[in-house]
Amino acid sequence: MDKALRALVRDVLGHAARQGLMGNHHFLITFATNAPGVQISRNLADRYPEEMTIVLQHKFWGLQADENGFQVTLTFNKVPEELVIPFDAILKFADPSQDFGFALKPSDNVAQPKPSKDVPPAPTTHAQEPDSVGGLAAQPAPTVVSLDAFRKK
């Protein structure tokens, strides 16, 4: 199934490379930065040692897709960066304009983080999501409201 979904990503990105994005379409792509064949700048690799999410929406250039992966140029803090991403490195793909998305199992050749026995697990934090220009923007923490305050007593 994952092979078919990766082929779908290949076809969708190939179409976007040839025709551009139509209407409100935009893609969120999460990939393993430590996967074989991934080419990103040292700065991005240091900042995102395991995975990273990018957005293809308004400001991206040079999108090309072939049988093995895709490459695209995005800006991060106003600095253009070329990324080369094999399809085997993709972990999630979504088109929020169509309420469509899926997660993929990591490919066998993608290094998985190994839990350390000496270090307790880190507290859960909210990951940063990409903004519309390919950079990253902090997401506010969700607010939980108790409904008890609104119930009649």
Which token pair is 118? 């000496």
**How confident is the model over 30-42, as pLDDT tens digits?**
999 999 999 999 9
pTM: 0.67
Query: Which phi and psi angles does 84 have, rounded to 5°?
Result: -120, 120
- Asked if residues 5 and 104 have their Cβ atoms less than 8 Å apart, the reply is yes
**How confident is the model over 49-89, as pLDDT tens digits?**
999 999 988 888 999 999 999 999 998 888 999 999 999 99
Average pLDDT, the chain: 77
Confidence of residue 129 (pLDDT cuts 50, 70, 90): very low
The secondary structure of the chain as a DSSP string is -HHHHHHHHHHHHHHHHHH---TT--EEEEEETTSTT-B--HHHHHH-SSEEEEEESSS-EEEEE-SSEEEEEEEETTEEEEEEEEGGGEEEEEEGGGTEEEE-PPPTTSPPP---SSSPPPPP-PPPEE-TTSSEEPPPPPPP--GGGGS--
The pLDDT of residue 71 is 94
Which domains are delineated in the chain?
A: 1-105 (2.30.30.220)
